[in-house]
Structure 1
Amino acid sequence: MFDKLHEECGVFGIFGHPEAANLSYLGLYALQHRGQESCGIVASDGYHLKSHLGMGLVSDVFKKDDIFENLPGHAAIGHVRYSTAGGNDMKNCQPIMVDYARGSIAVAHNGNLVNAMEVRTQLENSGSIFSTTADTETIIHLIARAQSDSLIDRICESLHQVKGAYSLVFLTETRMIAVRDPNGFRPLSLGKLDGAYVVASESCAFDLIEAEFIRELDPGEMIVVDKDGMKSFSPFKETKNTPCVFEHIYFARPDSRIFGRMVYTVRKEFGHQLAREYPVDADIVIAVPDSGVPAAMGYAEEAGLPLELGLIRNHYVGRTFIEPQQSIRHFGVKLKLNPVREIIEGKKVVVIDDSIVRGTTSRKIVKMIRNAGAKEIHVRISSPPTSYPCFYGIDTPSRKELISASHSIDEINRYITSDSLGYLSIEGMHEAVTMHGDDKIGFCDACFSGEYPVKFPRLKSDKQLGLF
């Protein structure tokens, strides 16, 4: 498996379209890069909620046509998941759907609640019984226990009790509700299709179904869509806007527009800035595909060097694969990437990647390029060193597993066996990401700086992520 960080999930919702479930399938297909472990759709026909969930990719879970016959109605929400909070288990598939005293409700969640364990313990001590290990279920329990007659008030009351990152989409028999946390950690966009309102983690989902992109939900904004149209609320205290900068570095698709910027444009600017900070005498620039490609383009443009396809990715290898025997486990990277000797041999090569997590994959890539005849290998990373775990919806190893937390850049360079190594500076990253938009946005860079916008219980960091 690649030495990469993983996003927790992606969400999608549509209200007011006769093919809601089918369009949700397509929306999830476009968001598949945000989670590959499980997926699901819950649909409403105006009277009942029906769901279909499963482990695996969207195309596998929804491969039978009759599935959609059992998901009728004009509204649906969907979810793709990669587990960070809660295990990789069928019981943790989303959207989570429950029946309670006031009817039925389903929810799909992108992000992590930093106080989920604390809230869950309080709920269990007062009699609540949980059926999943996902932190999302705490929100459902809080809604069920809230006393207000208004669903909107119950949701607001519940969300005031949790902290952290959440882009949420709720579905009842008659309404769809979407909300972003006050910090705006995770993206959530609003669109329209044939009079129906659509929400999605990324705008690329709108492109696939030919929906019109309207705007992104503001941090702390809640929208409610029903038969009378859409209403917007701002039920939370205004706070500093701190969207996750790693969405631009790696997670989001380059053809998506998030946090006011086109991802592709920002990644190219990372490359331009990286070339200004770490130039090198070289012959060619190559990218570690696919996420390193736009930054490599920017680096090559700024440095005046040719960009070549020196590494070819096998797109037919999934996240996991069968390895015949223990002795060839190192074949993992070779199954996914192959160097082109005719391009690399005898050349001084700049290799652009988006990040180094543990360093094991980078070391193997450098070895492959060296074996293909490279004269020199200069690794350039289009983000700062990842030295701290994330609590806001990224699958991050504990700090002791992050190579840059315990090793200097020179030591990492020696470990991965490159001739030189350069990371984009934190200052350069912020300059690049704000160059094409509102420079008042203060992006969350906690995984690089250790400065966390929303504090978390020390117990969680100690026992779960080894921060201290």
Structure 2
Amino acid sequence: MCGILGLLLNDSNADAAPEICEGLSLLQHRGQDACGVITCGPGGRFYQCKANGMVRDIFDANSISRLIGGMGVGHVRYPTAGSFNNAEAQPFYVNSPYGIVFAHNGNLINTSSLMGFMDQIAHRHINTASDSELLLNIFAYNLQQTGKFRINEEDIFTAIGGMMSQVKGAYACVAMLAGFGIIAFRDPNGIRPVGWGVRATASGKDYTVASESVVADAGGFAEWNDVNPGEAIIITRNGVSRRQIAAPSTFAPDIFEYVYFARPDSVLDGISVYRSRMAMGDALADNVKRVLEEVNITVDVVIPVPDTSRVAALNLAQRLDLPYREGFIKNRYVGRTFIMPGQQMRKKNVRRKLNAMALEFADKNVLIVDDSIVRGTTSKEIVQMAKDVGAKKVIVASCAPPIRYPNVYGIDMPSRKELVAHGRDEKHIAEAIGADLVIFQTLPDLIESVRQLNPGIGNFDCSVFSGEYVTGGVDETYLQHLESLRADNTRGKSLNLELDALDSKAVIGSSKGGNSTGASTPVNGSDTVGLHNSWNTN
């Protein structure tokens, strides 16, 4: 998962960077490994600042002030393909043709064949292992085939159509063409979310593109529209052009967006994330009641795992007429443990992130509600924390069904052996995490909890629960390759962290030079990455 953002201001003399950085901070939950912004200033010149780290750490007043221009693209990264190298921080940029900036959320599943195409036919060099850079170059190659010095919107739509016919997987993208405008498009299955908003100003209209509607809400963009599956939009200061590019396909947004990833105050594809989690709590309550009666266990209190399960846990408690208590206090300065690389780092940060209050656990049968159980690392630590402060019995209820299959569309669940539910039934999952009992949401109940809010969506991508991949093309060979790749990247990340720690100790008391894309620079600079003449459509 990543967060993407584009902004085009009607006032060409204003700077878009401050608002882009604010928007990225609202999308920080979607990626905490790296972030970046590239803006387009006078004469089509690009200015960039990107590095590994959080938005608040990379962008200060000095770096933002050097990001010049009334339109730009931003990205927060959560790596699933490629490596954790800061060279893979987005947005990416190519200078041929025309100067293109590109940000991508998702994951391609046919990268091997696409790399062969790049080498043998397109003759374009891919500098990183990131599928996002590959996707950018496929788009750039198709755009270059026009052979024109100046292109028009029809040429752009044609290039996107050519790209969509070549690539397979999940992608929600925002691009910027130097001196021209902002482009957004979405894969034919609509697996990853993206939408756009409009804001009226005294001089005209501003436009934003973002992964979630919360960015538009905070920025005062009154109109919000989802980019449809297989659709592309082109935004210039003259207005918006929309076109359905790909042939109709199965519309299947990722249901895990509603379970965990998206902010509760966002609306994705016409579905309120908050309302969907309320419905998940109601449905889970019925299953919990049935199971508890079967095993003859009574529960004294319902306690959520903050933050994503709070909404569901409250509805569950109300439906079962049980006390709801905040038994875990969260340290808000520790990031989301799910998207931290490596089991050891995730495990170590659970207790840094949460503290159990004995007052709510001691001598009680506790029902802990979580949004999902993935690797089991967090769940095992949480159960142990509850028992350490005196809980008699710990029952864990999950708003999602057991996750038994890898995710290949941009969520960090690629290795089956890391999934605690893979090859285990509920009894053995409970034993693995140290709980007295584990109760899962059923898949039909989860689907209905989300679908009832927008009956127009007939399908959801539920591959992590069902093993059925909506795009096809996912076989055992591919899964094994993905698992080995992810294992290598995790080891590489751990090594980089160790080296960064040693490097930090070595430079205490001194100032560190370098630009914002340097591997060892914490970084508050911006660099000009290209100079292009502005150009217009024919």
- Which category of TM-score, normalised to the shorter sequence, fits these structures? over 0.9
Task: Structure 1 unaligned segments of length 5 or more: list them.
Answer: 1-7, 321-326
CA contact (8 A) 2:252 2:457 kept: no
Paired residue type of 1:29: S
Say yes or no: does 1:390 pair with 2:396. no
Match in the other structure for 1:33:
29
Paired residue type of 2:51: G
List aligned pairs for 1:178-327, cutoff 5 A.
Answer: 178-193=184-199, 194=201, 195-279=205-289, 280=292, 281-318=298-335
CA contact (8 A) 2:280 2:399 kept: yes
Mark the CA change 1:153 to 1:329 in structure 2 (over 3 Å): closer, same or farther: closer
Deviates more, 1:455-464 or 1:51-60: 455-464
Say yes or no: does 1:379 pair with 2:396. yes
Alpha-carbon offset, residue 16 of structure 1: 2.4
Match in the other structure for 2:66:
70
Paired residue type of 1:58: V
In structure 1, C-alpha distance between the alignment counterparts of 2:301 and 2:442, rounded to whole Å: 23
CA distances 1:54-79 after superposition (whole Å, capped 9, x unpaired): 1100111112x232332222111110
> Match of 2:107, SS?
coil
Alpha-carbon offset, residue 244 of structure 1: 0.1
Mark the CA change 1:273 to 1:153 in structure 2 (over 3 Å): closer, same or farther: same
Match in the other structure for 1:454:
471
> Match of 2:453, SS?
coil
CA contact (8 A) 2:346 2:378 kept: no
In structure 1, C-alpha distance between the alignment counterparts of 2:269 and 2:315, rounded to whole Å: 21
Mark the CA change 1:22 to 1:343 in structure 2 (over 3 Å): closer, same or farther: same
In structure 1, C-alpha distance between the alignment counterparts of 2:285 and 2:383, rounded to whole Å: 20
Superposition TM-score, scaled by structure 2 size: 0.81
Across the aligned residues of Structure 1 and Structure 2, the Cα RMSD in angstroms comes to 2.0
Match in the other structure for 1:120:
115
CA distances 1:294-330 after superposition (whole Å, capped 9, x unpaired): 110121121111110011111122468xxxxxx9996
Match in the other structure for 1:99:
95
Match 1:54 to one of 51, 66, 76: 51
List aligned pairs for 1:10-29, cutoff 5 A.
Answer: 10-17=3-10, 18-29=14-25
In structure 1, C-alpha distance between the alignment counterparts of 2:24 and 2:92, rounded to whole Å: 16
CA contact (8 A) 1:400 1:466 kept: no
In structure 2, C-alpha distance between the alignment counterparts of 1:278 and 1:77, rounded to whole Å: 45
In structure 1, C-alpha distance between the alignment counterparts of 2:248 and 2:347, rounded to whole Å: 49
CA distances 1:28-51 after superposition (whole Å, capped 9, x unpaired): 010000001111111112522222
Say yes or no: does 1:138 pair with 2:156. no
Alpha-carbon offset, residue 262 of structure 1: 1.1
Say yes or no: does 1:362 pair with 2:379. yes
> Match of 2:170, SS?
coil
Paired residue type of 2:385: M
Paired residue type of 1:461: L
Mark the CA change 1:352 to 1:319 in structure 2 (over 3 Å): closer, same or farther: closer
Identity of aligned residues (%): 36
CA distances 1:258-292 after superposition (whole Å, capped 9, x unpaired): 12111111111111101101213211100011111
In structure 2, C-alpha distance between the alignment counterparts of 1:328 and 1:114, rounded to whole Å: 28
Paired residue type of 2:5: F
In structure 2, C-alpha distance between the alignment counterparts of 1:95 and 1:355, rounded to whole Å: 31
In structure 1, C-alpha distance between the alignment counterparts of 2:372 and 2:237, rounded to whole Å: 46
Mark the CA change 1:457 to 1:285 in structure 2 (over 3 Å): closer, same or farther: closer
In structure 2, C-alpha distance between the alignment counterparts of 1:208 and 1:369, rounded to whole Å: 37
In structure 1, C-alpha distance between the alignment counterparts of 2:227 and 2:474, rounded to whole Å: 28
Alpha-carbon offset, residue 331 of structure 1: 5.1
CA contact (8 A) 1:52 1:67 kept: yes
> Match of 1:403, SS?
coil
CA distances 1:136-179 after superposition (whole Å, capped 9, x unpaired): 12222223333124233223212221011111001012111001
Task: Structure 2 unaligned segments of length 5 or more: list them.
Answer: 149-154, 293-297, 338-343, 486-538
Mark the CA change 1:328 to 1:382 in structure 2 (over 3 Å): closer, same or farther: closer
Match in the other structure for 2:162:
157
Match in the other structure for 1:3:
none
In structure 2, C-alpha distance between the alignment counterparts of 1:144 and 1:345, rounded to whole Å: 61
Mark the CA change 1:13 to 1:301 in structure 2 (over 3 Å): closer, same or farther: same
- Aligned residues, how many? 452
Superposition TM-score, scaled by structure 1 size: 0.92
Mark the CA change 1:318 to 1:462 in structure 2 (over 3 Å): closer, same or farther: closer
Match in the other structure for 1:337:
354
Paired residue type of 1:219: P
CA distances 1:155-211 after superposition (whole Å, capped 9, x unpaired): 321222101111100101211100111100011121122311111101111222222
Q: Which has the higher helix share?
A: 2
Mark the CA change 1:330 to 1:204 in structure 2 (over 3 Å): closer, same or farther: closer
Alpha-carbon offset, residue 466 of structure 1: 7.1
CA distances 1:429-455 after superposition (whole Å, capped 9, x unpaired): 111111222254301100000011012
CA contact (8 A) 1:91 1:131 kept: no
Larger relative contact order (C-alpha < 8 A, sep ≥ 6)?
2
Match in the other structure for 1:465:
483
In structure 2, C-alpha distance between the alignment counterparts of 1:235 and 1:155, rounded to whole Å: 7
Mark the CA change 1:36 to 1:329 in structure 2 (over 3 Å): closer, same or farther: closer
In structure 2, C-alpha distance between the alignment counterparts of 1:140 and 1:376, rounded to whole Å: 52
CA distances 1:80-122 after superposition (whole Å, capped 9, x unpaired): 001101111111111101101x310011001011112220133
In structure 2, C-alpha distance between the alignment counterparts of 1:389 and 1:266, rounded to whole Å: 24
> Match of 1:317, SS?
coil
> Match of 1:394, SS?
coil
Structure 1 stretches of at least 4 aligned residues deviating more than 3 Å after TM superposition: 327-332
CA contact (8 A) 1:270 1:382 kept: yes
